[in-house]
Amino acid sequence: MSGKDPELSRLGEELSTARSDYAAAKKTTDETKARLNQTGSMIQTFNARIAELKKGIDTEYNAMRSERAGGDRSAADGHREAAQSMQEKLTEIYESKKACFAELDEARAAFNKALDAQKILRDKVQEAWDSFNARLEFLKSENAKEQAKWKEKPCRICGVPIRYNVEWKHIPNLCKECFDKDKLNWEDRTCAKCGKTFRINKSWDHIPSICGDCRKAVKAEKAAKMQAEKAAQEESARQAEEERQAAASALVDVANEAVSETVVEAPVESAAPTVCEAPAECAAPVVNEAPAEAAEPAGEVLSETADN
Ligand SMILES: [Zn+2]
Ligand SMILES: [Zn+2]
């Protein structure tokens, strides 16, 4: 993955260049530091030599004075000459030390310059690292997204797992082996209805004798027929219901009539004039004529009336 991404390769090269630049800068810093230390220790050596010579000069002058006091002029001169020669040496060393201070300043400046360059290159290495890692993280997350698109499902024939990508236009239902075998099952047939050539698979449970288009047409025709039949059935059911309701209301009418006749017979005062008005020969036959089955609906009608 990482090797295939040109951007990551480029960032990797930038990183390794930054690292070698930094390593070179660090080497320069180390060299200037060594030069600085060397100059410093040279000055210390001079200082030690100076202290030593000063001490020697003092010793020689003291010896010279004591020889003079003792009257030995020649010995006194010897000590004076020794002191003078040491003094000359001391002057030489002071000159060298002075030159060494100039070298120290130069070495310090070179060291500081190298250190600054090293710091800048160290920041560049960090930047290159950050860019490289950011790209790497990005590629990792892209890879994870890509991996999530890969799924498995069993082959419809043998059940072997088939690996597929959800973005494929045609996701296979068969493994490679079964697909190759299944190829032999396909053959051309001529439609019994329209004569067109169409493909069938010999492994199908029901092999059609007509083409897909004709099958669709037949299906649509069948559906239309069923729809019409259903509509007719609904219509006749509706009619039957209408008839049933008409019959029921007719029955209720009959029952109501029977009830009103019965009420007339009840011993209610207000009903009395009606009894008087009704002719006797008319009232009696009505009670007799009321059919037994009419009595029941009459009860329903009565309770309905009571509720209302
Ligand atoms: Zn298979
Ligand atoms: Zn056809």
Q: Is 53 a residue whose pLDDT tops 50?
A: yes
pTM: 0.49
pLDDT of residue 264: 54
**Alpha carbon of 213 to ligand 1 centroid (Å):** 30
Q: Based on the fold, state whether residues 96 and 13 are members of the same structural domain.
A: yes
Assess if residue 220 is contained within a domain: no
179 and 259 share one domain: no
Report the alpha-carbon distance of residue 178 to residue 193 in Å, rounded.
Answer: 32
Ligand 2 centre and the CA of 190: distance in Å?
8
pLDDT given at position 263: 59
Does residue 251 fall inside a structural domain? yes
pLDDT band for 260, please (50, 70, 90 cuts).
confident
Average pLDDT (6-30) is 97
Residue 109 lies in a domain: yes
Looking at the fold, whether 24 and 139 belong to one and the same domain comes out as yes
132 vs 259, more confident: 132
Q: Which residues, in sequence order, are CB contacts of 12 under 8 Å at separation 6+? A: 132
What is the pLDDT at residue 251? 86
Q: What would the mean pLDDT of 121-148 be, rounded to a whole number?
A: 96
In a domain, 1, yes or no: no
- Output the 3-class SS for the chain: CHHHCHHHHHHHHHHHHHHHHHHHHHHHHHHHHHHHHHHHHHHHHHHHHHHHHHHHHHHHHHHHHHHHHCCCHHHHHHHHHHHHHHHHHHHHHHHHHHHHHHHHHHHHHHHHHHHHHHHHHHHHHHHHHHHHHHHHHHHHHHHHHHHHCEEEEECCCCCCEEEEECCCCCCCCCCHHHHHHHHCCEEEEECCCCCCEEEEECCCCCCCCCCHHHHHHHHHHHHHHHHHHHHHHHHHHHHHHHHHHHHHHHHHHHHHHHHHHHHHHCCCCCCHHHHHHCCHHHHHHHHHHCCHHHHHHHHHHHHHHHHC
* Confidence grade of residue 302 (pLDDT, cut at 50, 70, 90): very low
CA 272 to chain centre: 94
pLDDT above 50: residue 287? no
pLDDT at residue 9 in the model: 96
Residue, of 156 and 4, whose pLDDT is higher: 156
In a domain, 222, yes or no: no
User: Is the pLDDT at 221 greater than 50, yes or no?
Assistant: yes
Q: What local confidence, expressed as pLDDT, does residue 305 receive?
A: 43
Span from the CA of 198 to the centroid of ligand 2 (angstroms): 8
Task: Give me the number of domains the chain comprises.
Answer: 3
- Residues 74-94 have a mean pLDDT of 96
> 276: domain range?
242-307
Which ligand does the CA of 215 lie closest to?
Answer: 2
> What is residue 179's predicted lDDT score, i.e. its pLDDT?
94
Q: Report the separation in Å between the CA atom of 177 and the middle of ligand 1, taken as the mean of its atom positions.
A: 6
pLDDT average, residue stretch 4-20: 96
Q: Which range among 75-79, 206-210, 239-243, 259-263 shows the weakest confidence by mean pLDDT?
A: 259-263
> Which ligand is the nearest neighbour of the Cα of 160?
1
What pLDDT does residue 308 have? 40
CA-CA distance, 182 to 192, in Å (whole number)? 25
Q: What is the Å distance from ligand 2's center to 207 Cα?
A: 14
- Please identify, among 148, 172, 189, the residue that sits at the C-terminal boundary of a domain: 148
For residues 110 and 263, which has the higher predicted lDDT (pLDDT)? 110
Say yes or no: 12 and 115 in one domain.
yes
Cα-to-centroid distance, 185 and ligand 1 (Å): 14
Q: Band of the pLDDT at 300, cuts 50, 70, 90?
A: very low
Q: What is the pLDDT of residue 303?
A: 44
One domain for residues 140 and 168: no
Q: How far is the CA of 268 from the centre of ligand 1 (A)?
A: 93
pLDDT confidence of residue 253: 85
- The owner of tokens 């029977």 is 258
Residue pLDDT, tens place only, 269-286: 544 444 444 454 544 444
